[in-house]
Chains A and B, each alone.
Chain A
């Protein structure tokens, strides 16, 4: 059975002491016995615990009322048993909800107050163990540009655990995504760290990517450039037929709206595809072709005169 403890005696105050007197007595004794000021003195440490426990009870009006009611009749067995039974119930329902957790209280305190801590008396005896967040993990994953055109799921192995996660379409090269809580475990109940995955996006397409826009140089034969016509080009999204205006200059640019790369986390929105025409001159001309070009050249000279 837990032995009765006279908290008033511990603080050296009378039973009718007011809040101010309790605080004053507590401060004086806490200063006197504080373990950091009495390094290695086990007696002081014990006293410090007692003083804190007394303060825990007496500085909290609710605890003090309860202690005054049952405490003085502690020696009456019937009362104790009744009280204990009630407290056991109280304990099991409220023990874990207490704030401090690891404060070192006497059996008497535990049986009466169920291991609760600091009910608002303003003290901070509860030795807060530092709660540290777990370590963040970092990993990198290599993907092809053609793969990140569409949202996909990937499975990676992190610390022996398979982790499946979604990679949204349009992710950029060297971009990191954070997977919350999948890093190292926390210390003393602290939260787990996060997992950061960095993506190396390797370009396996004929396009050059800048942000969400794609760029490509398209060869154009001289005749189509001069006379106009239709060409077929490959985009990320499949083949597209394109009209070429007559007299298209070498290096002319065309913008295909919405044919670029998907925008990250913006579903169904895309950048643009910019094409630059590279006019290809005919090679290995036949004598007949050369003659025709000579005639054209004469006309061209006259045109410029």
Chain B
């Protein structure tokens, strides 16, 4: 395992001051993907931004893990819709020029 691309769960718990059980719950709901080796559990660095967002929503708005799944899915859906909307708007602009 390339250590530069992963952070141990223990390290994350200390750094973000969160309980390991929360991370395990996030994994059970497939919000994050934890990698296990014989001795320790790790999270990919590319998952950190998503984790931070989940932790903020959990802490700032008291959203529980089941709620985070809904929020996460809706945000992803909104992102896709926005991208689609932007694409269509650009298309319309091009068409209106003719």
Contact = CB atoms under 8 A, between A and B. Distances in A.
Contacts of A131: 14-15
Contact size class for A?
A: 10 to 19
A96 B52 CA distance: 25
A124 B75 CA distance: 22
Q: Which of A27, A34, A127, A190 counts the most B-chain CB atoms under 10 A from its CB? A: A34
Nearest to A129: B15
B14 A133 contact: yes
B29 to A, nearest CB: 17
Nearest to A186: B15
A30 B58 CA distance: 12
A234 interface: no
Contact of B17 (A27, A37, A128): A128
B44 to A, nearest CB: 15
Interface in B12-70: 12, 14-17, 52-53, 56-57, 59-62
A200 interface: no
B62 A27 contact: yes
B11 A27 contact: no
B71 A37 contact: yes
A107 interface: no
Contacts, number: 38
Interface in A29-45: 30-31, 34, 36-37, 39
Contacts of A130: 12, 15-16, 52
Contact of A132 (B11, B61, B71): B11
Contact of A133 (B11, B71, B75): B11
Interface string A16-31: 0000000000010011
A176 interface: no
A124 B52 CA distance: 13
Contacts of A27: 61-62
A34 B61 contact: yes
Given A36-B53, A37-B71, A30 B15 contact: no
A125 interface: yes
A110 interface: no
A123 interface: yes
A30 B17 contact: no
Interface in A118-160: 123-125, 127-128, 130-133
Given A27-B62, A37-B71, A37-B75, A132 B15 contact: yes
Contacts of B15: 130-133, 190
Contacts of B11: 132-133
Contact of B61 (A31, A128, A190): A31
Contact of B16 (A36, A37, A123, A128): A128
A124 B57 contact: no
Nearest to A123: B60
B16 A124 contact: no
Contacts of B53: 36
Contacts of A133: 11, 14-15
Nearest to A125: B60
Q: Which of B16, B17, B52, B60 counts the most A-chain CB atoms under 10 A from its CB? A: B60
Given A36-B75, A133-B15, 15 more contacts: A27-B62, A30-B61, A34-B61, A37-B57, A123-B60, A124-B59, A125-B60, A130-B12, A130-B16, A131-B15, A132-B7, A132-B11, A133-B11, A133-B14, A190-B15
23 contacts: A27-B61, A27-B62, A30-B60, A31-B61, A34-B56, A34-B57, A37-B57, A37-B71, A39-B75, A39-B79, A124-B59, A124-B60, A125-B60, A128-B17, A130-B12, A130-B15, A130-B16, A130-B52, A131-B15, A132-B11, A133-B14, A133-B15, A190-B15
Interface of A: 27, 30-31, 34, 36-37, 39, 123-125, 127-128, 130-133, 190
